[in-house]
Amino acid sequence: MRQRIIIAALCVLFTTTCIAGSNISTPVHVLHAVEVQGKITLDGVLDEETWARATPIGDFIQRDPDEGREPTERTELRVAFDHAAIYFGVRMFDREPRKIVRRLSRRDDYADCDMFTIQLSPFHDGLTGALFQISSAGVQRDAIISNDTFTDYSWEGVWESAVRVDDLGWCAEIKIPFSQLRFPASGNQLWGINASRFIHRKNETVWLRLVKKNESGMASRMDDLDGIAVPEVHKHLTLMPYVVGRAEFVKPLSPNDPFNDGSRLFGTAGVDIKYGVSSNFTLDATINPDFGQVEVDPAVVNLSAFESYFPEKRPFFLEGANIFNNFGQNGANSSWRFNGQDPNLFYSRRIGRYPQGFAQGEFVNSPTGTTILGAGKLTGKTARGWTFGLIEAVTAREFAEVMQNGQHSETEVEPLTNYFVGRVLKENGRGGIGFLATMVQRDLNDSTLKSMLADQAYVAGADGYFYLDSRKDWVVTGKLAGSLVTGSPEAIDGLERSPQHYFQRPDTDHVELKPGATSMKGWSGSVSLNRQGGNIKVNTALWATSPGFEVNDLGFQTGGDLAGAHFVVQWRKTTVDRWSRSRYLWAAKWWTWNFARQLQGNGWNVEGMIQAKNYWTFWLDSGGHWRTHDQMLTRGGPSAAKPGGGFVETGLQSDSRKWIAIVLDCGYEWNEAGGWAESGTLNFALKPSSFLTISTGPSIGRARDRAQYVTSVPDTTATHTFGSRYVFSELDQTEVSMSTRVNWILSPKMSLQIYMQPLISVGNYWGFKEFAKPDTFSFLRYGSDVGSIGLDANHQYTVDPDKDGPAAPFSFYDPNFNFKSLRVNAIFRWEWRLGSTLYFVWTQNRQDFSNPGQFSAGHDISKLFTAPANNILQVRLAYWLGR
């Protein structure tokens, strides 16, 4: 199987070198930009001479609700330019201007009101571009377009706009500096353009160039925009210096803590630099970056062997992220994966991560993050279709302060580290081929860190895609990557024993620990076929990750030693009929194996959705899996059996335009061993006024796990499980949360956002038992089937596996938990001048762990709001210098 996957992936990559022909469809319109005469004052009034000279285009057509019909209201678009920027003047006629919805929103949030969107593709390559959206309330939103259809709204460009409502409807004026765009170096330009208007009260969307709902494409389905002349040499420099003041009010664990008297003050400064090397390449650099203005991560209770994944939120790493995060994802507008995790070769949150080492002592003051000494990023695209991206970052050596018996010392908890990422992608016509490489190099001086961490980690891969037809309906995609990690024998041994690998498994011969090894290597790859246009969509794929593949030094990976295949077919109907507006139904069959050819998953899924004519949406999802092997249950021990089971989930969503909208989601899953889980979420979106929105609602989950892993204990008498005892228990878990967001919008450039997440998660472990026999789901319960078990006053269990037999007793702490967390994050943001922002941020965190294993709504909620609070206050002022 391994050889077949490699051959298939190489075939895909080879075919992409034989690309020919253009994939940009014939334009419906040709727009002409006129040069600005005099000056355009951005006030939402199209009264300048330039707008009188510009030829308006108003040949828009409906996409929703009645695709292909004439708009109910007329729209006119004009385009102009000068030496520094491109301008758009838009007149949106409305026979009932008083009914124009002008609800305010935060910048870059979805505007639940009337709005107008410009899509630009300066390279007109059918693949890339930028999106600029202005609401009738004057709020901006922007995004980067990649892979023809992907939109990344994390990008935040610097551009100007103004809107005005009058007796004829409303107008918008937009100014986008050339410094915010990338385009070919030639003076005379031919860009791709599209535009759309949304009329909120009618739920009507009209497009300049209609892209039908059963078609695939965005950048490839644009009209022509000509007449723009930009300077041959277009360089620009943007500086963003900032200052930060920070106050922490954290309750000390002890009144004698020398590192914390309850309050601490900090101050820092730094600068972000953006230099336009040319019209199509940009160099970003940051010195002492600060990321304190971003929203906190939600609290989670993770009982798995793997870490939790959190998305990137830091501005420096978000801009241009589509260049680095699209490995293996180009060409297809969707990807599917069942019962397996697709390794992410680059996970930017590794840079500046929480220190990986630890310090022990009576009092410890450890840093909460790793200082980024400096970082640089070069991104761009050539006129010949080559996309480049480079990231270089250096993080500091970090130390924890320790006080033990009155003696002060320092312990190194993170080494000086260099991170590098390189990406190149060649796209032209009907396909593309690319390469990605990452490198991590650590300066390991501390012996403890040297035994924990790899000193060098390298990953390199190639990806490609090829469209089988000119409409981009059928596409073949593929990728193949290899990894090499080197370090001390102790570090590599720890890596081999980690949950991603489990080389110590005693009942298999395709993986094994290698004593004294100083390196580990592996590979990962996939090949897929997509039909992504039309009413019948198809996806089928074959993928694999070898046992030794490892990317977690600068990527994110939760598994290895797995291969899988699936087939999905989807039917959809996007036109309005007598009963509904749209509907779809898809079905899938999937399998997974390990590299010993043991079946690890064998299941199916079916999902359907229908949107009623009143814009209420209903969906139903169901699936099941048959009994297979389970190489992960014992966490490095012998393989077990995975019971068969299934799930069903259903939900509904009301019309989101109303002042109150609801989303209801509930589900139930079960397995043949008697395990089950039920969950329900009810979310309310409230819009009591044009400047206030509230999103809140409870989420409740209950579950019973018949085999929750507790610990493993070496015991030579446990011959039935290869010399170790694997301890499990029944687990009853209850989890309640109620995430709430409040957006109070004071103006298009000033907002207050409050996020609150109360969480109660209670786990009751009972019926402790040990794994009985490999390749089964059988257990021997302590105190009834075998041995004895007791709990002492110190919350410690002691187990005698065979009472008077030769096996030695062992102990473990009571794993019951009652985790109560309240996280509050309030962010006041004011763009006080173009590109310059002032932030006030308040973060509060409360935690309580009392009454483990016992769920009591009244007691737990009381503790949730009365637990000691840690508060952090921060002020950040940034000044944008650019044009």
DSSP 559-575: --SEEEEEEEEEEEE-S
**Residues 563, 598 contacting (CB under 8 angstroms):** no
pLDDT at 232: 59
For residue 492, give the 3-state DSSP assignment: helix
Residue with tokens 């290869």: 722
In this prediction the pTM is 0.89
Comparing 328-342, 603-617, 724-738, 764-778, the range with the smallest average pLDDT is: 328-342
Residue 625 has pLDDT above 50, yes or no: yes
pLDDT at 7: 39
Q: Write out the E strands in 594-739.
A: 599-612, 617-625, 628-630, 640-642, 645-653, 660-671, 676-689, 692-696, 699-714, 724-737
Residue 292 has pLDDT above 60, yes or no: no
How far is Cα 854 from Cα 334, in angstroms, rounded to an integer? 43
The per-residue pLDDT for range 93-138, each reduced to its tens digit, is 999 999 999 999 988 888 899 999 999 999 998 889 999 999 999 9
The per-residue pLDDT for range 455-495, each reduced to its tens digit, is 999 999 999 999 998 888 899 999 999 999 999 999 999 99
Residue type, 31: L
The per-residue pLDDT for range 774-821, each reduced to its tens digit, is 999 999 999 999 999 999 999 999 999 998 889 999 999 999 999 999
The per-residue pLDDT for range 218-276, each reduced to its tens digit, is 888 899 999 888 765 567 788 889 999 989 898 887 788 888 888 888 888 989 888 88
Residue type, 622: S
Number of other CB atoms surrounding residue 426 within 10 Å: 18
Structure-token pair, residue 280: 């199509």
Structure-token pair, residue 851: 């009454």
> Which of these CATH numbers, 3.40.1210.10, 3.40.50.2020, 2.60.40.1190, 1.20.140.10, describes 33-233?
2.60.40.1190
Residue 746 has pLDDT above 70, yes or no: yes
Residue closest to 572 by CA, chosen among 535, 543, 542: 535
Beta bridge partners of residue 603, listed in sequence order:
590, 625
How far is Cα 73 from Cα 813, in angstroms, rounded to an integer? 69
pLDDT at 58: 92
pLDDT at 453: 96
pLDDT at 9: 42
**Residue that wins the pLDDT comparison between 709 and 291:** 709
CA 39 to chain centre: 42
Which band of pLDDT confidence, cut at 50, 70 and 90, is reported for residue 303? confident
Residues in the chain: 883
Residue-averaged pLDDT of the chain: 90
What DSSP letter does each residue of 141-201 carry, written as one string? Answer: EEEEEETTTEEETT-----EEEEEEETTEEEEEEEEEGGG----SSSEEEEEEEEEEEEGG
pLDDT at 277: 79
**Residues 461, 471 contacting (CB under 8 angstroms):** no
Structure-token pair, residue 67: 């695709």
Residue 550 has pLDDT above 50, yes or no: yes
Residue 440 has pLDDT above 60, yes or no: yes
Which band of pLDDT confidence, cut at 50, 70 and 90, is reported for residue 18? very low
Structure-token pair, residue 623: 């699936």
Q: How far is CA 759 from CA 495, 676, 701, 857, in A?
A: 33, 21, 12, 12
What DSSP letter does each residue of 517-579 carry, written as one string? Answer: --EEEEEEEEEEEEE-SSSEEEEEEEEEE-TT---TTTSB----SEEEEEEEEEEEE-S--SS
For residue 348, give the 3-state DSSP assignment: helix
For residue 51, which phi and psi values (nearest 5 degrees)? -70, -30
The per-residue pLDDT for range 322-350, each reduced to its tens digit, is 889 889 988 888 888 887 778 999 999 99
Residue closest to 152 by CA, chosen among 317, 368, 298, 41: 317
pLDDT at 294: 62
For residue 582, give the 3-state DSSP assignment: strand
Residue closest to 331 by CA, chosen among 533, 127, 535, 572: 127
For a pLDDT cut of 70, what percent of the chain falls above it?
Answer: 95
Count Cβ atoms within 10 A of the Cβ of residue 791 and give its class: 0-12 exposed, 13-18 middle, 19 or more buried: exposed
Residue 11 has pLDDT above 70, yes or no: no
For residue 41, give the 3-state DSSP assignment: coil
Residue 646 has pLDDT above 70, yes or no: yes
pLDDT at 97: 96
Mean pLDDT over residues 177-184, rounded?
A: 87
Rounded to 5 degrees, what angle do the CA atoms 724, 729, 733 make?
Answer: 145
pLDDT at 14: 37
pLDDT at 465: 95
Residue 21 has pLDDT above 50, yes or no: no
| Biggest distance spanned by C-alpha atoms of the chain | 100
pLDDT at 25: 59
pLDDT at 231: 66
Mean pLDDT over residues 535-539, rounded?
A: 93
Q: Which of 49-53, 251-255, 311-315 has the highest mean pLDDT?
A: 49-53
pLDDT at 293: 56
**Residues 532, 216 contacting (CB under 8 angstroms):** yes
323: left (phi over 0), alpha (psi -120 to 50) or beta: alpha
How far is Cα 760 from Cα 852, in angstroms, rounded to an integer? 11
Q: How far is CA 574 from CA 67, 213, 608, 816, in A?
A: 9, 6, 14, 50
Q: How far is CA 751 from CA 69, 244, 824, in A?
A: 38, 19, 17
